[in-house]
Chains A and B, each alone.
Chain A
Amino acid sequence: MPAVFLAAALPFVVSPILLLFRRPDRRAGLLSAAACAGAFACFVSVALGASPATVALPWIGPLGLSFSLHADPLALFFALLITGVGFLVAAFATSYLDSNENFPRFFSFLMLFTGSMLGVVLSSNLMALFVFWEMTSFSSFLLIGFWHHRERSRYGALKALVVTGSGGLAMLLGFIMVGIVCGSFEIAVLAERGALLAANPWATPAVLLIIAGVLTKSAQLPFHLWLPSAMEAPTPVSAFLHAATMVKAGLFMVARLGPLLSVVPLWTPTLALFGLLTMTWCGWLALRQKDLKALLAFSTVSQLGLILVLLAPAEPDTTAAGLLHLLNHACFKGALFLLVGVLEHELHTRDLSLMGPLRRNMPFTWLLIALAALSMAGVPPMGGFVSKELFLDHLLNGHPLLALLAVAGAVLTAAYCFALAAGLAAGRRPDGPRGQDPSLSLLLPPALLVAATVGLGIFPDQLVGAPVAAATLAATGSSVTGHFAVWHGAGPSLWTSAFAVSMGLALWWGWWQKRVPPASTLIADRVYDHALEQLETRARRLTASYMSGILWRYCSVILLTVIVGVAVVAASQGFVIQDGWSSRHAGPWDLAVCATAILAALATLKARTRLAAILALGASGFSLALMFALSAAPDLALTQIMVETISVPLFLAVFAFLPPYQVDRVRRARPLHAVLAVAAGLGTALLLAASRSQRVAEPISSFFVEKSVDAAGGHNVVNVILVDFRALDTLGEITVLGVAAIACYAIIKLLSEKEAGR
């Protein structure tokens, strides 16, 4: 079995197994970590060329869909990131979660997510990719709502699902358009058909729909609202899904499809603009947060905007920078989330304004936070500095207005990073809650991530130069020209960087501590809440308008639909009633029986007493039996007589318990009913008359007649059909009758027991 398949399937295999563990069993976490490590090792073997990178399985053949995994360098880059961070987070969560938490459920969901995320990056078919994409939204929903007894958790989970789910559906529509225009859903095939897409007028709506999917998944403006609410999830989940991996699915999509979709002129500028606006605006929002997780959430949104700007042009140099920053961000933001988790674990608060002097109480924790924050701020020699340099370099060569936005974003980023690191160092409250550095098992995972981001600053090219270059080549089709270095020479980007960092410092030092307005409700949140509420009330009203609970209304609607539908079809197809149908001549007996039947039916309408109505119904049934007998259908006649003989007493039995019979209850809608009834009756008769002249094929009955004696050994063809040729149908019929009998018995039994209990 190829290593790629093994690695992608491993989390899905482990996920249900985990549910078998007992509730407080921490070994569930160790198994998850082991699964991540195993998958990581598999991907390494693929990356080293020791194992084939492609697996193809047939999926839905007639639709031209195959389920295939293709681990090109771009996919491997992401897969290694996912499994690597996944391993650290699983190890962290194992000792982080309280011992009374439901470990099996947590890790099962986590593995479900890991598998889905691997599916997203490895799928080489758009439809398969979409399925995994939605599964990440779904598992994110489960994980955000993990503490489902909390109202805020449920709210955040639902919001995340609504926003990313609807974005996913928009994206599906875009995929389908692209697939139809280009004639394939295989990403490798699509990559060569950009020209087809560029020439098609459907390309623009398709691209806009896919952009909607990207923006919702990566929480970009105006869909940034779900990520802060998603912070109700346990902290390891925030670190893994909402900082390091899932929110980067949108960015992955940009990297993966960028070369194809950037043939549409709208693609790059739209994404870049949204990315820049998000970066700056959410940087500002992050600065205003007091809750550490909210601060990190907005900062994540802001940083994702930055990466989006870099990936949008689908050019090798910017893509490489984007991928490097993506890796950096996963390291420093993952670490920050885990460390905030540690703070919450030790101090039982995550409010920045309630913190005591951390540098004294928890020196190691604080040091790690400070290093990660400095990397995020873009201070040399951290990893964040290298990629932010490249970002500024890219933007300074562009439109001055965009450059200004970028610099503003960088300044705000630096400011909130200082607010975070320095604010925690001294602490606002000398008497704040005290804690101690936690055990090594909680500090080691974030420490490794921080070490990675420091390493990425000092040796960027040696550490990840080759994989990023390979991923860039796979994504854009061309090679990177430069290479990563911490020292680029004193160019405009260095001055800008220095300016941004010092301005950020100034902003924090001189202004933030007193005058920054506190966080308020997001406008997007208010819009979302209002829209959801409106949707609920209107849907309820709409449903109530046709689900009246009154039987005749339902029946009228159904009848009207059928009558109008049949009439429209009949009118458009041409309604022909031809003479010459085969029918024997009606004798006096026939006419007498028909007349009786008609009279009996009319009598049911007019009957003044219940007894008369029941007897009239019985009369119609018996005349029907006679008509069967006269029409060469003896079996039917016998059955009908039997059924009528049982039915009439049954009616009469119930009759004894019912109130006086009401024929003339006030009915305003009576004329409408009469019209509907006549239309139904007349329509059926006309349809029947026309059907005789509309035969398009020979009746299949001749088969039954021919085979009856030979194959089934019976002479009565009707019987043979029922008990032999269509025996299964008859079995179904008997079952229905049996179920009805049991239901009748149960209802009556229940009633009599109730009576007895009274």
Chain B
Amino acid sequence: MHLAVLTVVAVFITCGVYLLLDRTLLRVVIGLGLLSNGVNLALLASGGLGPGAAPILGHGSAAIVDPLPQALILTAIVIGFGVTALLLTLAFASYQSQLSDDLEDLHGRLDDE
């Protein structure tokens, strides 16, 4: 299981970083989303991937998995959502006012102003 999860982490982060470095605004936002997915999975893997039951007590004496990474990830998912929403709004706004979603193009324009 570990190897499979590590592969997924590697692919998510590779794709995420590659998109993050792109010129097109929407691809940057998508890249950031992938990147945060990859990091969340990495957090989970760092706490160990079982075997164990879900961290809910009172269901017999079975060993449970580490709850702490899960708590961290839960926070990260929500914050990641907030970031994505804000970025999308900014992308929308910048296109509305500048009529371009090309970051280098936008940069040149801001310099001219």
List chain A positions with a Cβ less than 8 A from chain B. Answer: 548-552, 555-556, 559, 581-586, 590-591, 594, 597-598, 601-602, 604-605, 610, 613-614, 617, 620-621, 624, 627-628, 631-636, 639-640, 643, 646-647, 650-651, 654-655, 657-659, 661-663, 665, 667, 669, 673-674, 676-678, 680-682, 684-685, 688-689, 691-692, 699-701, 704-705, 708-709, 715-718, 721-722, 726, 729-730, 733, 736-737, 740-741, 743-744, 747-748, 750-751, 754-755
Contact in complex: B17, A676 (CB < 8 Å): yes
B residues in contact with A681, CB < 8 Å? 9-15, 17, 38
Query: In the docked arrangement, what's the CA distance between A721 and B8, Å?
Result: 27
Q: Shortest Cβ distance from B71 into chain A, in angstroms?
A: 4
8 Å CB contact of A633 from B31, B44, B111: B44
8 Å CB contact of A743 from B34, B64, B89: B89
**B interface, size bucket:** 35 or more
Contact in complex: A583, B13 (CB < 8 Å): no
Contact in complex: B24, A662 (CB < 8 Å): yes
Contact in complex: B102, A662 (CB < 8 Å): yes
Query: In the docked arrangement, what's the CA distance between A748 and B92, Å?
Result: 9
B residues in contact with A733, CB < 8 Å? 75, 78-79
A residues in contact with B93, CB < 8 Å? 747-748, 750-751
| CB proximity to A under 8 Å, residues B21-55 | 21-31, 33-34, 37-38, 40-42, 44-55
Query: In the docked arrangement, what's the CA distance between A491 and B103, Å?
Result: 85
Given the interface pairs A559-B17, A585-B1, A722-B74, the reply to whether A701 lies near B23 with Cβ below 8 Å is no
Q: Shortest Cβ distance from A340 into chain B, in angstroms?
A: 51
> Which of B9, B90, B92, B102 gathers most chain A CB within 10 Å?
B92
Contact in complex: A705, B64 (CB < 8 Å): yes
Query: In the docked arrangement, what's the CA distance between A639 and B19, Å?
Result: 25
Majority SS of interface residues in chain A? helix
Contact in complex: A680, B17 (CB < 8 Å): yes
8 Å CB contact of B21 from A556, A585, A678: A556
8 Å CB contact of A740 from B8, B10, B85, B101: B85
A residues in contact with B47, CB < 8 Å? 699, 701
B residues in contact with A624, CB < 8 Å? 37, 40-41
Query: In the docked arrangement, what's the CA distance between A597 and B18, Å?
Result: 17
Contact in complex: A552, B22 (CB < 8 Å): yes
Contact in complex: B19, A604 (CB < 8 Å): yes
Contact in complex: A601, B34 (CB < 8 Å): yes
Q: Shortest Cβ distance from A700 into chain B, in angstroms?
A: 7
8 Å CB contact of B66 from A550, A701, A740: A701
B residues in contact with A549, CB < 8 Å? 107, 110-111
Contact in complex: A555, B4 (CB < 8 Å): no
Contact in complex: B50, A583 (CB < 8 Å): yes
Query: In the docked arrangement, what's the CA distance between A729 and B71, Å?
Result: 11
Given the interface pairs A583-B1, A677-B18, the reply to whether A718 lies near B86 with Cβ below 8 Å is no
Q: Which chain A residue shows the least CB distance to B107? A: A549
Contact in complex: A684, B42 (CB < 8 Å): yes
The 14 sampled A-B contact pairs (Cβ below 8 Å) are A582-B48, A584-B50, A597-B12, A598-B11, A605-B15, A620-B37, A624-B37, A627-B41, A665-B23, A673-B18, A689-B6, A744-B89, A751-B93, A751-B96
Given the interface pairs A549-B107, A650-B84, A678-B14, the reply to whether A704 lies near B68 with Cβ below 8 Å is yes
> Which of A624, A655, A748 gathers most chain B CB within 10 Å?
A624
Query: In the docked arrangement, what's the CA distance between A654 and B71, Å?
Result: 31
Query: In the docked arrangement, what's the CA distance between A691 and B9, Å?
Result: 14
A residues in contact with B56, CB < 8 Å? 634, 715-717
Query: In the docked arrangement, what's the CA distance between A640 and B76, Å?
Result: 10
B7 at the interface (CB under 8 A from A): yes
Query: In the docked arrangement, what's the CA distance between A717 and B25, Å?
Result: 39
B residues in contact with A689, CB < 8 Å? 2, 6
Residue-wise interface mask of B (61-87) relative to A, using a CB-CB cutoff of 8 A (1 in contact, 0 not): 000111110110111011111111110
Contact in complex: A594, B4 (CB < 8 Å): yes
Contact in complex: A682, B34 (CB < 8 Å): no
B60 at the interface (CB under 8 A from A): no
Q: Shortest Cβ distance from B54 into chain A, in angstroms?
A: 4
Task: Give the top 6 A-B pairs by smallest Cβ distance, nearest first.
Answer: A681-B14, A584-B51, A677-B18, A740-B82, A717-B67, A685-B10
Contact in complex: B91, A654 (CB < 8 Å): yes
Q: Shortest Cβ distance from A293 into chain B, in angstroms?
A: 46
Contact in complex: B21, A673 (CB < 8 Å): yes
Q: Shortest Cβ distance from A193 into chain B, in angstroms?
A: 53
Q: Which chain B residue shows the least CB distance to A722? A: B71
Contact in complex: A685, B7 (CB < 8 Å): yes
B residues in contact with A602, CB < 8 Å? 11, 15
Query: In the docked arrangement, what's the CA distance between A709 and B67, Å?
Result: 14
Query: In the docked arrangement, what's the CA distance between A631 and B73, Å?
Result: 13
Q: Shortest Cβ distance from B52 into chain A, in angstroms?
A: 6
Contact in complex: B17, A590 (CB < 8 Å): no
Given the interface pairs A552-B23, A633-B54, A677-B14, the reply to whether A705 lies near B75 with Cβ below 8 Å is no
Given the interface pairs A583-B50, A633-B44, A751-B96, the reply to whether A721 lies near B17 with Cβ below 8 Å is no
Contact in complex: A617, B33 (CB < 8 Å): yes
Contact in complex: A631, B81 (CB < 8 Å): no
B residues in contact with A633, CB < 8 Å? 44, 54, 65, 70, 73
Query: In the docked arrangement, what's the CA distance between A699 and B65, Å?
Result: 12
Query: In the docked arrangement, what's the CA distance between A495 and B40, Å?
Result: 90
Q: Shortest Cβ distance from A623 into chain B, in angstroms?
A: 8
> Which of A594, A614, A674, A755 gathers most chain B CB within 10 Å?
A594
A residues in contact with B48, CB < 8 Å? 581-583, 692
8 Å CB contact of B57 from A559, A661, A667, A717: A717
A residues in contact with B71, CB < 8 Å? 718, 721-722, 726
Query: In the docked arrangement, what's the CA distance between A659 and B78, Å?
Result: 29
Q: Which chain A residue shows the least CB distance to B90? A: A747
Q: Shortest Cβ distance from A627 into chain B, in angstroms?
A: 7
Contact in complex: A586, B20 (CB < 8 Å): no
Query: In the docked arrangement, what's the CA distance between A722 and B69, Å?
Result: 11
Contact in complex: B6, A685 (CB < 8 Å): yes
A residues in contact with B77, CB < 8 Å? 636, 639-640, 643
Q: Shortest Cβ distance from B8 into chain A, in angstroms?
A: 5
